[in-house]
Structure 1
Amino acid sequence: MKKYLIGIWYSLPIQLFLPHFRRYQIFLIFWYLLFSTVAGGFMKTFGAFSLFLAPEYFGEVSALSTAIVGFTSGVFIMSWNITTFILHSKQLKFLATNAQPFLKYCINNAIIPMAFLIFYLIKAINYSSIQELASTWDIVFLAGGYTGGLMLSLLIAFIYFFGADKTIYYTLATNIKTANEQYDQAITNSVLQKEKFDMRVDWFLTAGFKLRKPRDVRHYSTEFLEAIFNRHHVAAVLAIVMAFVFLVLVGYSSDTRLFQLPAAASITIFFSILIAVAGALSMFLRSWSIPLVVTLYILANYLYQQEVIDPRNKAYGLNYINKKERPLYNKEAIGELANDSAIEADKQQYLTILNNWKRR
């Protein structure tokens, strides 16, 4: 029993899941917001949960509207996978010599996305049944639309990365073959030492969902492994850039009804961009990313309280700086202004305006 527990603990899915709580808590903020919104906690008074559970497109809730939200949810999941893949790649060097390393990474990094998918479908089905009074077939179509949109998004992403993977390995095939031929010689000449920053992984899931032990890659040069990962990183960054360009184009075309996407879809695409930015912060600041975010939040809150940052809509011509000279806004002050002479003066003024319009 102990052997199985140790094997589970040092499996790649668990070892990828734990670092989010230890080092990359900033990514969990986005997942928390999604879980909390769908659960009816975050911004409940504004009805944010209904934007996800009953998305509207062309003025109605349909399989197409849920499919769009599902597609953008897939974009968010892939953005999260891409960002964490870039951050974890140095600790998972054995993936560099496997075919389709990013696909294997996504499969082993699926604990949180799968939990969200199940949670969302449960809440969406419950909402459609109780709040929308939808029929069984309508619920099936809505849930199927979301799942289908999600699967389509993931399929497009994996086709893109599969093409990038083939290009990378076609380019570096000679180097891989040479490194494999020199493996026996490397073992004979010296004992290969384990690098300190490698993550301990006893087994991982393959693309066929089979268990496999990680391959020993210590006979490969660091430069070679980094070359493979760097090429995957370039492909990953291009995917994020395409998502950003899509968001900008949708924003510019929002006046067209076709591009008036469900609000939940816009939110998830926006989160996809933010999670990439958060990944960049985590990469450069490492353990200082959370303290920096907290500091920026406190600073922004202070500036807001001091009205240095003031998002309020202001009436043109009014003085909002000198608060002491503001007129009182209470019952007595309004009563003083609402006297007979003031009412008669207003009446005569507007009668003059109306007569001028009449003469035109």
Structure 2
Amino acid sequence: MADIWFSFPVQLLILHLRSNLLLIGSWIVLLLMLTGNMGRKLGLQYLFLDPEYLGEVNFWSFFFIGLAYGGFFMSWNLTTYLLSAQYFPFLATLSRPFTKFSLNNALIPLGFFVYYLVVIINFQAGYEKLSLDSVFLNGLGLLFGGLTLVSFYSIYFNYTNRDISYYKSDREMPPNLAKPIAPGRRRVDLDYIKLDNNRWKVKTYLNEAFQPRLVRSVAHYEARMLMNIFRQNHLNALLLQLITMVILLILGYLIDVPLFRIPAGASIFILMSVLIAILGAFIYWFGEWMLTIFVLLLVFINFVTSFEVFDHRNRAYGLDYLAEPVTYSYDTLESICYSDQVQLDKQETTRILDKWRLKMEPHTEGKPKMVILSVSGGGLKAATWTVHVAQTIDSLMGGQFLDQTVLVTGASGGMLGMAYLRELMLREKSGDSVNLYDQEYLDNIGKDLLNSVAFTIITNDVFLPWSRFEYRGNVYTKDRGYIFEQQLNENTDSILDKPLWAYHRAEAEARIPMIYLTPSIINDGRRLIISPQGVSFMMVAPVGLQKPESVEVDAVDFGWLFKHQGASELRFLSALRMNATYPYVLPTVHLPSDPSIEVIDAGLRDNYGILSATRFIQVFTDWIRENTSGVVLVQISSAPKIEEVAQNDGSGVIGSLFNPIGIAGKVFDLQEFEHDNSLGFIYDLLGPEQFEVVRFTYKPTGEYEAAVSFHITDGEKKDVLNAISLEENQESLRTLLRLLGKDGPLVSE
């Protein structure tokens, strides 16, 4: 037992637990992701268990995961060797000391890898229902990827690292190693710790053949020679880490090439490798001053990047940032709310509604029902669910559902799906060969968006992004926002790549539903309403126009505010991205105003599109009463409306301190309470016979709930599609068809 306790692998593990907890924390974070204890709702575990490369989950996607894991494993070894090798001076007397260190330092990485492999097999065979051959090939890809990277590192160090045999030969010691040894940066007294009774006690170590070997005394070696061997090895390790950083920087210029968009899980491994290398370098060079230097460095970086030359904040493509910025203030907002522009915009939208009424007359007896469609955020889960439900309803109604829809509101993934479906609808009406219900379109909207974003973060955004591109005469910086749009554009066959004004005529003629995109303004919490039509009437509740200052202006008409900065030229893909800017995954967008407006996901204020829908109904209540038989608000949500009450009993004194903070994580639940209040007001305004809400809600039909992510697995997608067969959704279908006068048999999907 003593031989095991004092073996090199065990003693290294103890040293890490004592001195390198920050580094061990990286393994803990990865383990929490893998088990789903961290980011389960965001689907972080699926990035490792079901990685996708070039649209496929196969040997090569797992090969890249293995390659990145091998890099993380070697970064762990390089960093811990840099920080810990001098505690084990016997290493300097061995041939290939770094190789032996890595083998003996593999307890944590090996345990993680074995567990990872078991979880992959269980997930793919159990949840994804893959064949044993596919599971075996995927596991083989993971193993080969890891071995490939480790082999590369081994070859590099075999030819570059020096050991005791090199300096015991007749060669003259290099000048830099012949210098007297100054006190180490970590203040390690090698003369002291190399003595048998004082050094970190190790009895055995494993050699390259995994055979135990006895540790010999090093007391008879000169401390200078031992320390210089470590110094040369350390410099070699630092050089390799520097080369790795340069390679990542170069790869940042290749983000437009699909072949380089590796699986997002691999990007996470690479990011962790970089963080470990940086943390190790800080500890090595600055020791006890590490935290102070790190804080000062953050302050310095923040100061430097505040200057325009280093200003790489994300921008909305199509807007002119060289024009004089518009003044953004409450006075500016009031100036439009209490001007004639509101009535002009309202009249234009009324003309659209009149054309919609004329379009519906041949298909309805009497006054038609107005349909307003509100869709929720929720990544590709929401996008897939929204398209599937809309396709199903429209097909059951013989293509009339989308025609009967006046307005589409919502957030994030749901709006990505509806924007795509609406464009297909427009092309079909324009005579293109489009079958709106083709499975191809459902597959397209579910294609991965996360790989390219994650790869861009680690190769471009963590550095200072310098690469540029031009759009409609303006120049912008490439970053993860840019690549998100490019990937979405590729996934949807480039049909959404058009300026905002391109939809003005089709909406004005009521050929397609209007879409209101409503990203949230970080500066003041207001909603920014993006539409090719004038929407100044949406900026304040109608009573605010009749009684100024009775209520506060709570929204901003994007087209009006930025008309001199080219609002109509805004890339529609940028508008969709602004509406789906999940914090940190995508960069917040800065607009050309003074002060600069910064916008984020619409879900921050209204994840379900209810605020926009109810405000629209308020504004046009009189027209609705006169020209329709009522309003049907169809809500397509990617999450259950009523959730179970969370338990907080037995949390302990420390845990209970965080309970009040937990309500911040209930932002969507709080929104639903407010939305129900707004819907109650509309029921009172129109009457229960003239207003109906029909909900289609995704609920998991299998063991796992689909995650909120820009990546969706095949198993998750099947679960999302199966949710239409749930009895409550079938009942919603029957109710909706009855309300719209299309009773008939349902086709369960």
Taking structure 1 as the reference length, the TM-score comes to 0.76
Residue equivalent to 1:205 = 206
- Asked if the contact 2:4/2:10 (under 8 Å) is kept, the reply is yes
* Residue equivalent to 1:18: 14
1:56 aligns with 2:59: no
Partner amino acid for 1:261? I
In 2, are the aligned partners of 1:26 and 1:290 still within 8 Å (CA)? no
Question: Within 5 Å, which residues of 2 pair with 1:131-280?
Answer: 131-165=127-161, 171-174=166-169, 194=195, 198-280=199-281
| Residue 304 of structure 1: aligned partner | none
Q: CA RMSD in A?
A: 3.7
Q: CA deviation at 1:234?
A: 2.1
Gaps of 5+ in 1: 177-191, 300-310, 329-333, 355-360
User: Highest CA radius of gyration, 1 or 2?
Assistant: 2
- Match status 1:94 vs 2:90: yes
Contact 1:67–1:149 (8 Å) recurs in 2: yes
Measured after TM superposition, the shift of residue 173 of structure 1 is 3.0
Per-residue Cα deviation, 1:59-88 (whole angstroms, up to 9, x for no partner):
100101101110110011001101101111
C-alpha separation in 2, matches of 1:11 and 1:268: 29
1:343 equivalent in structure 2: 346
Higher helix proportion (structure 1 or 2):
1
Aligned counterparts of 2:167 and 2:287: Cα–Cα separation in 1? 31
Task: Identify which of structures 1 and 2 has the higher relative contact order when contacts are C-alpha pairs closer than 8 Å and 6+ apart.
Answer: 1
Residues 163-207 of structure 1 deviation map (CA, whole Å, 9 limit, x = unaligned): 224x5556413279xxxxxxxxxxxxxxx9827862111211122
Query: Which is further off, 66-75 or 12-21?
Result: 12-21
Alpha-carbon separation, structure 2, partners of 1:18 and 1:290: 24
Give the corresponding residue for 2:76: 80
User: What is the one-letter code of the residue matched to 2:205?
Assistant: F
Letter in 2 for 1:173: K
> Does the aligned pair in 1 maintain the 2:92–2:164 contact within 8 Å?
no
Q: Which moved more, 1:256-265 or 1:194-203?
A: 194-203
Give me the whole-angstrom Cα distance separating, in 1, the residues matched to 2:170 and 2:225.
8
Deviation at 1:21, TM superposition (A): 2.0
Question: What secondary structure does 1:57 align onto?
Answer: coil
Question: Unpaired segments of 5 or more residues in structure 2?
Answer: 172-192, 300-312, 353-500, 506-749
Query: Which AA in structure 2 matches 1:58?
Result: L
Alignment partner of 1:212: what SS?
A: strand
Q: Is the 8 A contact 2:204 2:213 kept in 1?
A: yes
Distance 1:36 1:198 in 2: 35
* Secondary structure, aligned partner of 1:231: helix
Q: Which amino acid aligns with 2:242?
A: V
Q: Which amino acid aligns with 1:343?
A: K
Change (3 A) 1:140 1:12: same
3-state DSSP class of the match of 2:81? helix
Give the residue type in structure 2 aligned to 1:68. F
Shift, 1:27, TM fit: 0.4
User: Does residue 129 of structure 1 match 2:125?
Assistant: yes
Residue 114 of structure 1 is matched in structure 2 by 110
3-state secondary structure, aligned to 1:42: coil
The residue matched to 2:41 in structure 1 has which SS? helix
Which is worse superposed, 39-48 or 51-60? Answer: 39-48
Hey, what's the Cα distance between the residues in 2 that align with 1:94 and 1:10? 14
Contact 2:66 2:143 in 1 (8 A): yes
- CA separation in 1, counterparts of 2:202 and 2:66? 32
SS in 1 for 2:144: helix
Tell me the amino acid that sits aligned with residue 223 of structure 2.
Answer: T
Measured in 1, the distance between the counterparts of 2:78 and 2:285 equals 16
Q: Secondary structure at the match of 1:201?
A: coil
Instruction: Find the residue that maps to 2:203 and give its secondary structure.
Output: coil
Distance 1:172 1:93, change over 3 A: same
For the 8 Å contact 2:93–2:164, the answer to whether it is kept is no
1:189 is aligned to none
Deviation per residue, 1:316-350 (Å, 9 max, x gap): 86767x6x76969xxxxx9xx99866511667899
Shift of 1:8: 2.0
* TM, length-normalised to structure 2: 0.38
Deviations along 1:117-174, whole A, 9 cap, x unmatched? 0111011111111232110110000011101111111112112111224x55564132
Q: Which position in structure 1 is the counterpart of 2:67?
A: 71
How many pairs align?
A: 317
* Secondary structure in 1 matching 2:234: helix
> Against the structure 1 CA distance between its residues 193 and 277, is the aligned structure 2 distance closer, same or farther, given a 3 Å change threshold?
closer
Return the alpha-carbon distance in structure 1 between the equivalents of residues 84 and 94 of structure 2: 16
The 8 Å contact of residues 68 and 146 in structure 1, kept in 2 or not, is answered as yes
Of stretches 70-79 and 192-201 in structure 1, the one that deviates more from structure 2 is: 192-201
Shift of 1:238: 2.3
Matched residue of 1:46: which SS?
Answer: coil
